Amino acid sequence: MEAARQADQMAIATFESGATTVPVLSDAHLDTLFTVYDLKFGRLTGVADFDSAKPGDDGIKVYVTPIDRVGDPLKAAGAMTVELFDLAAADQLRLGHWEFPVSDAAKLWYGQALLGCYVLACPWENAPAGSAFTVRVTFVDSLTRRTFVKQKEIGAAAPVRK
């Protein structure tokens, strides 16, 4: 009987370690929680000068906040991707692609001076030729595994300084 019990414990441990699914919360249960419902760009999103020793803009800074169902800011962990597009360019539509894993979320969050948002610094991969371009952020919520995408035209007020 002791050998059978040990064999059963080993079988249970094997089954538990081989589990390949993650528990999923039902939509009804998610509706009772404060979870991400959308994304909101901060007004400071735009071109940025990361190196003051060199003239010109070096990339963009994206200020993005996950928001809940009623539009309040929500500090939620997730993986983020930023893409930059020049919609006026016929030959090179995508200007850049940056990935920010969930492991970096805590250090990317800025929660001071009336701001509560992720600040994503994206140095140019390809600087836009014109003054208007579009940024798209994809956020994958770590809790719910839901994906949120938001895009915004930026940089139209002044040409990019190179």
| Dist. CA 82–CA 48, nearest whole Å | 15
Name the residue range of residue 104's domain. Answer: 25-154
Residue 109 falls within a domain, yes or no? yes
Residue 103 falls within a domain, yes or no? yes
Residue 124 falls within a domain, yes or no? yes
Q: Structural domain tally of the chain?
A: 1
Residue 1 falls within a domain, yes or no? no
Confidence of residue 157 (pLDDT cuts 50, 70, 90): very low
For tokens 């809940």, what's the residue? Answer: 68
Structure-block tokens of residue 101: 């894993």
Residue 18 falls within a domain, yes or no? no
| Dist. CA 25–CA 17, nearest whole Å | 21
CA 158 to each of CA 61, 104, 141: distance values in angstroms, whole numbers, following the listed order: 16, 31, 34
User: Would you state the pLDDT for residue 49?
Assistant: 85
Residue 90 falls within a domain, yes or no? yes
Residue 12 falls within a domain, yes or no? no
| Dist. CA 25–CA 110, nearest whole Å | 29
| Dist. CA 158–CA 3, nearest whole Å | 77
pLDDT, averaged across the chain: 84
| Dist. CA 34–CA 83, nearest whole Å | 27
User: Within 10 Å of residue 154's Cβ, how many Cβ atoms?
Assistant: 19
What percent of the chain is predicted at pLDDT more than 90? Answer: 40
For 8-22, what is each residue's pLDDT tens digit?
787 777 666 665 565
Confidence of residue 159 (pLDDT cuts 50, 70, 90): very low
Contact 158, 49 (CB under 8 A): no
Q: Look up the CATH number of the domain holding residue 78.
A: 2.60.40.1940
| Dist. CA 147–CA 38, nearest whole Å | 9
Tell me which range, 7-11, 27-31, 36-40, 155-159, is most confidently predicted by mean pLDDT. 36-40
pLDDT of residue 81 exceeding 80 = yes
For 117-147, what is each residue's pLDDT tens digit?
999 999 988 877 777 789 999 999 998 889 9
Integer-rounded Cα radius of gyration of the chain: 22
| Dist. CA 38–CA 49, nearest whole Å | 28
Residue 8 falls within a domain, yes or no? no
